[in-house]
Amino acid sequence: MDASALDDDKDESSPGLPSRRRTDTSDSVRVLKPRRAAPADAVRPTRAEVNLAALRHNLRVIARHAGRAKVWPVLKADGYGHGAPAVARTLERAGAEGFCVALLEEAVELRDAGVRAPILVMGGYYGGAYEEIVGRGVVPVIYDGSHLEGLARASRQAGHPVDAHLKIDTGMARLGVRMRDLESFAAELARFPEVRISGLMTHLACAEAAAGSEGSGFTAEQVALFEEATTRLARAGVSPQVRHVANSAAVLRGEALFDAVRPGIAIFGVSPLASGGALELRPVMRVRSEIVDLRTIEAGESVGYGALFRATRPTRIATLPMGYADGLSRHLSNCGHVLVRGVRAPLVGAVSMDMSMIDVTDVPGVGLHDEVTVLGSQEGLSSRDGRDALSAEEIASQAGTIAWEVLTSVSRRVPRFYREP
């Protein structure tokens, strides 16, 4: 176990941490550090175990696919649920050359955790916190005139130019300068010499699409538009030093590599490719709990809210202290599974906020305090018991969602334990 990661994580989650207040000419803005359950304070047996060796392994796999491109892991949403500060420190030591987040608050958290690598803030909403951006030494992604005004003002106050990356909308229709507005935005940019465009980016919409599918050609179309945008902006006097486009799927396919890549879910061991490519990736998170109650119900008796499950035989019901507030989706009610003694046990009844019930009738030797694996692999307790694994992809399929949501839904009240196998 990485004791330093645990100690640092506890500091970050301690109650009563001061907020930081920055003031601009319009209003007062507070940027608060998020809080999470600390391992040292854990009472419940429900926890997430993060395998730091697997994390470093995945970085090496992605770097191999990326070729000469720099690898900037995406650590938004608390590092896809894995705990961004400890993950960032591990990846920084392992050679990651920068990080991407969605929110300024996430960048602040990483800086406060001691991360010194470049941090790109991609979400585009900065409120009035431009002084915080400049003071923290983070790089914002911009696409709107108001961004230029705010950054220029903060730059003048700081007494030095600021760097930003410009986002182009090549078909996502979410954020970014539209192709028809490139020249007008470049003209607007010329009014603010304090803002230096050091990077150019776009966001792929269909990189995960299988070959021959409806969306498979869309990535090529987006890349072509991005190349066109690069040329047009250069004519208008905007020539960034670095360009980046590729997400996890594009990196694993070897597409749109440019100068840097932005892998997200692949860093955490999940391949976004429909074909299941890059099988050498290793899952990083394992979520486990324990049985806290065992009882036998008779045929016809019900389980849980709404009596959604009724026993058809004498049934052994186990309760585990984890529910949808912890990231165990309510959509898994009566259809999901967990692992007990290496054997699959079905979730029965409705998954409630803090607890869930499972049918362990067919699990030999089950007892109180037996480990329950909700995500990841589990070995049986003896040679007679089995071994199995529940992947984020399988859980997502059962819950009618995607692996990204499975990982990011593991809530902050579930403490993260960082392990070095």
Distance between alpha carbon 230 and the CA centroid of its chain, in Å?
29
This prediction has a pTM of 0.90
Tens-place pLDDT, residues 335-358? 999 999 999 999 999 999 999 999
pLDDT for 2 equals 46
Reported as a pLDDT band with limits 50, 70 and 90, residue 26 is very low
Q: Kindly name the residue from 33, 125, 167, 305 that is annotated as catalytic.
A: 305
Alpha-carbon gap, residue 394 to 371, rounded angstroms: 20
- What is the share, in percent, of the chain residues with pLDDT greater than 90? 82
Contact (CB, 8 A) for 387 and 371: no
- For residue 168, the 8-state DSSP code is E
CA separation, residue 163 to residues 142, 149, 153, 198 (Å): 10, 14, 13, 6
From the CA atom positions of the chain, what is the Rg in Å?
24
Better pLDDT: 385 or 346: 346
The H-or-E segment that residue 228 falls in is helix 218-235
Residue 5 has pLDDT above 70, yes or no: no
Tens-place pLDDT, residues 121-177? 999 999 889 999 999 999 999 999 999 999 999 999 999 999 999 999 999 999 999
Residue 389 has pLDDT above 50, yes or no: yes
Q: Kindly name the residue from 10, 33, 70, 76 that is annotated as catalytic.
A: 76
Instruction: State yes or no: is 418 an active-site residue.
Output: no
Reported as a pLDDT band with limits 50, 70 and 90, residue 304 is very high
pLDDT for 421 equals 76
Q: Which CATH superfamily is domain 31-37+52-268 in?
A: Alanine racemase (3.20.20.10)
Can you tell me whether residue 184 is helix, strand or coil? helix
Q: What is the mean pLDDT of the chain?
A: 90
Instruction: State yes or no: is 305 an active-site residue.
Output: yes
Contact (CB, 8 A) for 71 and 260: yes
Alpha-carbon gap, residue 381 to 387, rounded angstroms: 9
Q: Which residues pair with 241 in a beta bridge?
A: none
- Nearest CA-CA partner of 162 in 194, 186, 136: 194
pLDDT for 386 equals 67
* Mean pLDDT confidence for 195-201: 98
Residue 65 has pLDDT above 80, yes or no: yes
Token representation of residue 58: 């995945």
Residue 11 has pLDDT above 80, yes or no: no
- State whether CATH 1.10.150.120 applies to domain 285-419: no
**Could you tell me the residue ranges of all domains in the chain?**
31-37+52-268, 285-419
Supply φ then ψ for residue 357, to 5 degrees: -120, 145
